[in-house]
Structure 1
Amino acid sequence: MRILDTHLHLVYPRQFSYPWLAGQPVLNREWTLEDYFAEAVPLGIESALHMEVDVAEQDMLAETEFVLALPRIIGAIAACRPENPAFVDQIERLSEHPHVKGVRRILHEAPDDLSQSDLFVENIRHLPDYDLSFDLCVRADQLGIGKMLVERAPDVSFILDHCGVPDVTGAGLDPWRADIKAIAKLPNLNAKVSGIIAYSGPDWTVQTLRPYVEHIIECFGWDRVVWGSDHPVVTKTGSLTRWVEASREIVSGATEDEQARLFHRNAERIYKA
């Protein structure tokens, strides 16, 4: 079963500035396309969408243009700042690149009120005009504010990153489980099976992850889920290989068609990849 990775981060410190990496010593180095695909191709990953890596603002457009010139990168989800009055100008420039598929503003480390302002919401509502989606990255305790944003922009296609960032080693399944069930009722929201091993501690097993992945699929259905590696963040508590193997094992009882929808077909439709 081939895989389209919808959440690949590449890090090139000689080209761009990543201020947040100063606090992440395990990740604070170069992570190249060549190294990623050397591991990814034998696992069945044939192509990837690059997910912005929260570079310094002055590097955001340059990062997007750089990764789109790389082989096997079939699209990019670019960094954006919907809280800024010049947001529409920003997405107009991004839309000049046909392989920009969507945008993301990281919210899980931002103040809760950032995404709730009228300016933020009004700017997000412009995305369908440019055929762009929005990746929603919020923590489990922020799913309520994420839900309000999705509700206020019903014409925007949203993708919930990292299963809603459950606190696997802390709060666990609840209240995450009920909040996911509630937010999944919004028809313009899809979900990404990615990132959860970063919140599962170094001793996670397939059984650790299974209830989270299965709940996401149960709530969103097989037509509204996509798969992502979250590489290289995945290496903090595991590896790309372990995450792919765990993902395949968790859905091994699904039909071939259902697995194809998760691993590549839905991504091709939702991201127009």
Structure 2
Amino acid sequence: MIIDAHRHYWDPSRLQYGWLAHAPATLQRAFLPPDMAATHDACILVQAAPDERETLFLFDLARQTDDVLGVVGWVDMEADDATQRIAALVEQGQGLLRGIRPMVQDIPDIEWLARPSLDRAFDCLRDHGLVFDALVDNRHLRALSHRLTRHPGLITVVDHAAKPNIADREFAEWASAIARVAQVPDVACKLSGLLTLTGTGADAAAIEPFVAHVFESFGGRRVMWGSDWPVLTTHASYEQWKALAQQLVRRFAPRHEAAVFGATAVATYSLNDCTTASGRTA
């Protein structure tokens, strides 16, 4: 079974997605399960709005869609009652909530992740067995490293390989910072979102050194594939990116295809019960 570890569904008629106002016009519409009817890969749905109501919306979609194995939602990590909010989402999800993703890349304070006021919320994620999805770029990796040292055992996934500046070939600083983060054993990385970082065209060759470094840093068992659909559609189709990713894994992490395209997501997001219940195997 292939698991897409990073898929979005959204509906701007129901909720506010502020970042969509600055996105390509092709993304400024609803993207929902019928749009992916031709694809039978299992997936994890990931939040796209800083709104707990969207997490509940994703729960509803997951209950209606056989291929959704779990949801990475959003909660106000700075709220005085953040721990209660997290507990409430766990209960409302009835097993669907697998992680929480604060939209760090959109927060003006690049040191936000290091704020001590967030300690209780991050401890709560760990205590509930939830994954912290880190939507960060190179500016945030130092603060991310500080955050991880405070919470041993917190399972963390770095989204989109921390969004390196591939278009301008800015490699060295990102490579050093992501390698430091990879030294923390409870951190995994998503092989996702890279084609959309290459500029106006989908430059497959441009992403190769970045992909190679991800595997060099994390190894083949701590990397999972994600589509970042529908953002991906500005540069490639779902099947085009999957085929390219399969080629890259065969090149840079041979014999780890099963891990990257399924087993790592199952282990990281604790999906064994989900795959068994759905009749799927990983």
Return the TM-score normalized by structure 2: 0.88
Residue in 2 aligned with 1:193?
A: 191
Q: Deviations over 1:213-261 (max 9, x none)?
A: 1111111111211111101111122222221121011122467741000
User: Cα 1:217–1:256, aligned 2, differ >3 Å: closer, same or farther?
Assistant: closer
- 1:82 is aligned to 77
**How many residue pairs end up in the alignment?**
266
Distance 1:257 1:99, change over 3 A: farther
> Aligned AA for 2:9?
L
Of 141, 144, 151, the residue aligned with 1:143 is 141
Matched residues in 1 for 2:255 and 2:59: separation?
34
Instruction: Give the structure 1 partner of residue 224 of structure 2.
Output: 226
Give secondary structure in 1 for the equivalent of 2:136: coil
CA contact (8 A) 1:10 1:31 kept: yes
2:68 partner amino acid:
I
In the alignment, residue 62 of structure 1 is paired with which amino acid?
Answer: L
The alignment status of 1:69 with 2:63, answered yes or no, reads yes
Is the 8 Å Cα contact of residues 195 and 203 (structure 2) preserved in structure 1?
Answer: no
Following TM superposition, the consecutive aligned residue runs of length 4 or more in structure 1 with deviations greater than 6 angstroms are: none
Cα distance in 1 between the residues matched to 2:174 and 2:252: 24
The answer on 1:106 being equivalent to 2:103 is: yes
Cα distance change, pair 205–92 in 1 and its aligned pair in 2 (3 A):
same
Output the CA distance in 1 between the equivalents of 2:241 and 2:153. 33
Give the secondary structure class of the aligned counterpart of 1:126.
Answer: helix
Equivalent position of 1:49 in the other structure: 44
Looking at structure 1, the residues matched to 252 and 178 of structure 2 have their Cα atoms a distance apart, in angstroms, of 21
Cα distance per residue 1:164-195 (max 9 Å; x no partner):
11001125212111111111101121111111
Give the Cα–Cα distance (whole angstroms) in 2 for the partners of residues 139 and 255 of structure 1.
Answer: 24
Identity of aligned residues (%): 23
Tell me the secondary structure at the aligned position of residue 3 of structure 2: strand
What's 1:31 paired with?
Answer: 31
Residue pairs, 1:147-226, within 5 angstroms: 147-226=145-224
Matched to 1:32, the amino acid is L
The verdict on how the C-alpha distance between 1:26 and 1:65 changes in structure 2, with shifts beyond 3 A counting, is same
| Counterpart contact for 2:111–2:140, Cα < 8 Å | no
Q: How far apart in 1 are the matches of 2:253 and 2:192?
A: 20
1:163–1:254 Cα change, 3 Å: closer
In structure 1, give the amino acid aligned to 2:148: V
Give the corresponding residue for 1:12.
11
Paired amino acid for 1:28:
Q
